[in-house]
């Protein structure tokens, strides 16, 4: 049986990525690069037509099916070198006439770096981009659905000013859209290289390959077969910035989902209870306390973001290579160690983020709504929490209104130092407490209260109406998200 485990913990294994990063599939993209190089040598007449004809579809398929396990065995027992191990196996498959042409005029990292770029590009286009777009449609739906549902906003863990649930969803949606757009753009900038051991195309020039290629270089010809563009200049390895930029965008996407997880986890706290995860039939919250419903998925969203933040440090630490190449960062940057798959900073970040997306989009049945659309918003809890402090949550507009109305001195001090203690001690509304403080000087009180428009005073009596542009912003961000999806050719339905 093939070993198709992905990097990272076996608990988190997005099946969509197995064709790309399943362990025994790793060398498929290596084979693609080697095949493209041989075909290009045939195109320009270096390999005679009678010989390149031996590279049949059947032979190519066998090369594509060389497994990582096979390469590991030859590397461990014979070559102590991964690409030379692959080349040895390839020569047992290739017809006699073609054996001399494999790995010409390539160096290992022409193949490995280009193959890695191919993997990331395909993972993004076929998995991350599509799932990210689906998530955006769902989040836009939630922002629109709850655009007018009032909720108490929170800063520093404390009740702040009223917002709406849709506004909260829109803040997450905006970050997801921006991060995915960055990743889309960065994925198009992932590059390949076919430039030799020091990046100067020495063998291509010295063996006359360059002269045969005319205006389109050998490198460009090979990479065009793979759908990649060449780096403007490289050493033995690709310049690290394009992949760094892509993985930075993936980190942004993952942490935006992590932000959603943190917010939702706290909103699910027993004493808050405004949000609840979908709880599947037979699901258990605690082995000892059957009354509990733990926010396991919300916690996992944040946890995966933490994992990606830690892995990105490895990316940052492998940005420098000595001269044209060294192996200091090789063990850090490799997809897998020699023995068994484990966390590595390159594909693991995409694996973690795809796991987040899988959870958000998980459906009980194909026709069921996804997890993100089944999150329950408890309207009664939203209302209860909004009313918990009465009109004290309107301290901001009160101090602004009194100050603008001509209050001598500091309006903030009046509300904070005098009215708030009075309101708490006597259990009266904050507005009433402000009026009682003002009444200590009837002349000032009459002047200030007389300068406050009636509609403004009415607003101070209704905290639930003090939501500013929350609803409008929710719909605006949702509309912008749907415009993006239209450009992507998606309906935006969840």
pLDDT at 288: 66
Residue 204 shares a structural domain with residue 173? yes
Same domain, 395 and 371: no
pLDDT band at 493 (very low <50, low <70, confident <90, very high): confident
Q: Is residue 450 part of a domain?
A: yes
CB 111 within 8 A of CB 71: no
Say yes or no: 426 and 457 in one domain: yes
In a domain, 353, yes or no: yes
Please state the φ and ψ torsions of residue 404, each to the nearest 5 degrees. -65, -30
Share of the chain above pLDDT 70, in %: 95
C-alpha to C-alpha distance for 436 and 426, rounded to whole angstroms: 12
- Domain residues for the domain of 283 are 15-380
d(CA 75, CA 116): 19
* List 29, 50, 108, 156, catalytic entry: 156
* Residue after which a domain boundary falls, among 348, 380, 412: 380
Q: Which two tokens stand for residue 294?
A: 């733990």
pLDDT digits (tens, 9 = 90+) for 76-123: 999 999 999 999 999 999 999 999 999 999 999 999 999 999 999 999
Instruction: Work out how many domains the chain is built from and give that number.
Output: 2
> Is 394 found in the same domain as 376?
no
CB 228 within 8 A of CB 118: yes
Is residue 186 domain-shared with residue 154, that is, in the same domain?
A: yes
Q: Which of 145-154, 169-178, 326-335, 340-349 has the lowest mean pLDDT?
A: 340-349
Binned at pLDDT 50, 70 and 90, residue 295 comes out as confident
Q: Which residues, in sequence order, are bridge partners of residue 150?
A: 164
Report pLDDT for 338: 35
User: Do 442 and 372 share a structural domain?
Assistant: no
User: Is 210 inside a domain boundary?
Assistant: yes
What mean pLDDT is predicted for residues 294-320?
A: 91
Domain end call among 312, 347, 380: 380
Within a domain: 28: yes
What average pLDDT does this structure show over 13-30? 95
Instruction: Report CA torsion sign: 320, 323, 324, 330.
Output: negative
State the average pLDDT over residues 39-63: 98
pLDDT band at 333 (very low <50, low <70, confident <90, very high): low
Whether 356 and 443 map to the same domain: the answer is no
- Residue 337 pLDDT grade (very low, low, confident, very high; cuts 50, 70, 90): very low
Give yes or no for residue 154 having a pLDDT over 90. Answer: yes
User: Which pLDDT does position 340 carry in this prediction?
Assistant: 35
Give the number of other Cβ atoms within 10 Å of residue 84's Cβ: 15
DSSP string, 187-229: HHT-EE----SSSS-HHHHHTTHHHHHTTS-HHHHHHHHHT-E
Percent over 90 (pLDDT), the chain = 84
In a domain, 479, yes or no: no
Query: CB neighbours of 107 closer than 8 A, spacing ≥ 6?
Result: 196, 197, 236
Mean pLDDT, residues 403-429 taken together: 94
Same domain assignment for residues 133 and 210: yes
User: Are residue 258 and residue 335 in the same domain, yes or no?
Assistant: yes
Task: Report the pLDDT averaged over residues 137-158.
Answer: 97
Q: Is 286 one of the catalytic residues?
A: yes
pLDDT tops 80 at residue 399:
yes
pLDDT score recorded for residue 321: 87
Exactly one of 286, 368, 413, 446 is catalytic; name it. 286
**Is residue 434 domain-shared with residue 318, that is, in the same domain?**
no
Q: What is the pTM of this model?
A: 0.93
Q: Out of 57-66, 132-141, 203-212, 340-349, which region has the weakest mean confidence (pLDDT)?
A: 340-349
Same domain, residue pair 254 and 288: yes
Residue 343 has pLDDT above 50, yes or no: no
What pLDDT is recorded for position 260? 98
In a domain, 3, yes or no: no
What is the per-residue pLDDT for 287? 64
pLDDT at 336 over 50: no
Q: Kindly report, residue by residue over 196-246, the tens digit of the pLDDT.
A: 999 999 999 999 999 999 999 999 999 999 999 999 999 999 999 999 999
Both 253 and 142 in one domain: the answer is: yes
The helix-helix angle for 108-123 and 241-267 (nearest 10°) equals: 40
DSSP element (H, E) containing 230:
strand 229-230
480 falls within a domain: no
* Through-space distance between the first and last CA atoms of the chain, rounded to whole angstroms: 37
Chain centroid, CA 343 distance in Å: 17
Which of 327, 348, 380 represents a domain boundary (last residue)?
380
Mark out the alpha helices in 294-346 (DSSP H runs): 296-317, 330-333
Banded pLDDT at 491 (limits 50, 70, 90) = confident
In a domain, 10, yes or no: no
């Amino acid at each position: 049986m093939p070993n198709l485990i992905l990097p990272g913990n076996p608990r988190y294994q997005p099946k969509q990525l197995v064709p790309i990063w399943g362990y025994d599939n790793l060398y498929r993209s290596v084979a693609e690069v080697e095949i493209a190089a041989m075909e290009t040598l045939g195109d320009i007449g270096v390999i005679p037509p009678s010989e390149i004809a031996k590279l049949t579809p059947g032979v190519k398929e066998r090369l594509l099916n060389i497994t990582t396990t096979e390469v590991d065995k030859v590397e461990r027992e014979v070559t102590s070198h991964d690409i030379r191990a692959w080349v040895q196996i390839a020569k047992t498959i290739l017809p006699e006439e073609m054996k001399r042409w494999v790995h010409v005029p390539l160096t290992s990292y022409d193949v490995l770096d280009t193959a890695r770029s191919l993997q990331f590009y395909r993972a993004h286009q076929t998995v991350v981009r599509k799932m990210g777009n689906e998530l955006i449609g769902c989040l836009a739906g939630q922002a629109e659905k709850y655009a007018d549902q009032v909720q108490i906003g929170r800063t520093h863990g404390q009740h702040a000013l009223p917002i709406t649930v849709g506004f909260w969803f829109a803040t997450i949606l905006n970050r997801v859209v921006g991060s995915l757009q960055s990743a889309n753009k960065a994925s198009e900038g992932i590059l390949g290289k076919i430039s030799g051991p020091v990046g100067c195309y020495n063998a291509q020039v010295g063996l006359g390959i360059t002269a045969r290629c005319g205006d389109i270089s050998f490198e460009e010809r090979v990479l065009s077969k793979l759908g990649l563009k060449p780096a403007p200049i490289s050493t033995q390895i690709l310049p690290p910035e394009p992949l760094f930029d892509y993985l930075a965008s993936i980190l942004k996407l993952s942490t935006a989902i992590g932000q959603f997880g943190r917010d939702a986890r706290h909103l699910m706290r027993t004493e808050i209870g405004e949000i609840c995860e979908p709880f599947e039939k037979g699901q258990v919250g605690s082995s000892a306390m059957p009354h509990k419903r733990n926010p396991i998925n919300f916690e996992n969203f944040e946890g995966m973001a933490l994992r990606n933040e830690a892995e990105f440090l490895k990316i940052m630490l492998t940005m420098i290579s000595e001269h044209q190449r060294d192996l200091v960062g090789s063990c850090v940057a490799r997809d897998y160690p020699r023995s068994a798959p484990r966390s590595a900073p390159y594909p693991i970040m995409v694996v973690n983020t795809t796991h987040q997306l899988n959870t958000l989009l998980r459906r009980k049945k194909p026709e069921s709504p996804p997890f993100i659309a089944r999150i329950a918003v408890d309207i009664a809890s939203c209302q209860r929490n909004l009313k918990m402090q009465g009109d004290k949550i309107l301290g901001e507009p009160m101090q602004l209104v009194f100050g603008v109305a001509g209050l001598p001195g500091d309006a903030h001090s009046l509300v904070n130092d005098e009215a708030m203690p009075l309101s708490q001690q006597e259990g009266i509304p904050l507005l009433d407490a402000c009026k009682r403080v003002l009444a200590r000087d009837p002349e000032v009180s009459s002047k200030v209260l007389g300068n406050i428009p009636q509609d403004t005073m009415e607003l101070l009596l209704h905290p639930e109406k003090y939501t500013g542009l929350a609803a409008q912003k929710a719909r605006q961000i949702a509309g912008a998200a749907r415009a993006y999806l239209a450009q992507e050719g998606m309906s935006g339905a969840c």
